[in-house]
Amino acid sequence: MSSVDSVASPFQSPRQHSPRGSEGQKGVAEMGTRLLHVISTPRGLASNTGRVSSALLEAILEQDDDVAVTTLDLFKTDLPSVAGRNIESKYKLMTGQALDAASLDSWRDIERTIEQFLDADVYLLTVPMWNFGIPYALKYYIDAIVQPGYLFQYTPDGMVEGLVKGRKMICVTSRGSDYSSEPMKAFDYVECYLRAIFGFVGITDIRFFNAQPMDISRDLRMAAQKAAIHEVRDFAASGSWRVDGGEAVASSGEAVVA
């Protein structure tokens, strides 16, 4: 199993991947775009969803070979615990309490996962629909990184402020049936949840590409996959996935809680 620090990508650019800090941010145009590809299917890039994501990545790299791709395969990665010592650390940090040495060491695993997420300019999520929702591995990952003081904070008047500014997200999904219209649309908890949770932390520029239906017949599956691949290639060619150099990328992975 890989840690969050050592996952290799078949699309990785040879350019060295150095962390972004919160101070003295260089423009994205100067440093090149950093794309984090989060895979949440146990079949990886050989899956129906993965084939569409692969086509998208290939098309993006044809447009810009300075894109640095980091792949996080959630079914091959040891994610940090969100229970036990770390859940206690979370609430201590929220209330301004200090952590002991053992708690700090354990919490550092959470911070490394958050830092990897915040180091990206663009996110690509490869997400098959499982029982109307997202795979459990992706939900676990989200629970690990969406921490107060890191991805969001509470304002003095009790409102929530997302801290992940100036990023873009692309979600490639596959579904057994066609959920684009009623009555099936009411069962699509993938798009509404991902828009809600990532919008909560500040990512509002989210584009979905849904390959559907995939399980009804071979002919329909092949047609749906072909259509999705055509759509993502057009999207890549449009350049709409790029983050403008003037957009602020302010989060650094350091907690802002008192």
Copy the structure tokens of residue 98: 């200090």
End-to-end CA distance of the chain: 35
pLDDT at 250 over 90: no
Q: What is the mean pLDDT of residues 44-54?
A: 92
What pLDDT is recorded for position 53?
A: 97
Whether the Cβ atoms of residue 107 and residue 99 lie closer than 8 Å to each other: yes
Of 168, 162, 180, whose CA–CA distance to 56 is shortest? 168
Q: Max alpha carbon distance in the chain (Å)?
A: 59
Q: Which pLDDT does position 14 carry in this prediction? A: 31
Residue among 7, 140, 159 nearest 69 (CA): 7
User: pLDDT tens digits for 2-18?
Assistant: 555 434 333 333 333 33
3-state DSSP assignment of residue 2: strand
Q: Note the pLDDT of residue 30.
A: 57
CA dihedral of 152, 156, 158, 164, whole degrees rounded to 10: -20
Which pLDDT tens digit goes with each residue over 77-86? 999 988 778 8
Give yes or no for residue 242 having a pLDDT over 90: yes
Give bridge partners of residue 39 from the DSSP assignment. Answer: 73, 126
Amino acid, single-letter form, for residue 112: R
Beta bridge partners of 36: 70, 123
- What backbone torsions phi and psi does residue 162 show, to the nearest 5 degrees? -75, 140
pLDDT in tens, 172-193: 999 999 999 999 999 999 999 9
Average pLDDT, the chain: 85
Q: Is the pLDDT of residue 29 over 80?
A: no
Q: Name the pLDDT band for 76 (thresholds 50, 70, 90).
A: very high
- What does the pLDDT look like over 129-150, one tens digit per residue? 999 999 999 999 999 999 989 9
DSSP state of 179: -
Q: pLDDT class for 210, splitting at 50, 70, 90?
A: very high
Q: CATH 3.30.1330.60: does it fit domain 29-238?
A: no
Query: For tokens 């979370």, what's the residue?
Result: 90
Whole-prediction pTM value?
Answer: 0.83
Residue 196: count of CB within 10 angstroms of its CB = 9
Are 4 and 56 a contacting pair, CB within 8 Å? Answer: no
For the segment 106-112, the average pLDDT, to the nearest whole number, is 91
Mean pLDDT, residues 44-48 taken together: 88
Using CA atoms, how far apart are residues 148 and 152, in angstroms rounded to an integer? 5
Domain borders along the chain are 29-238
Percentage of the chain lying above the pLDDT 70 cut:
83
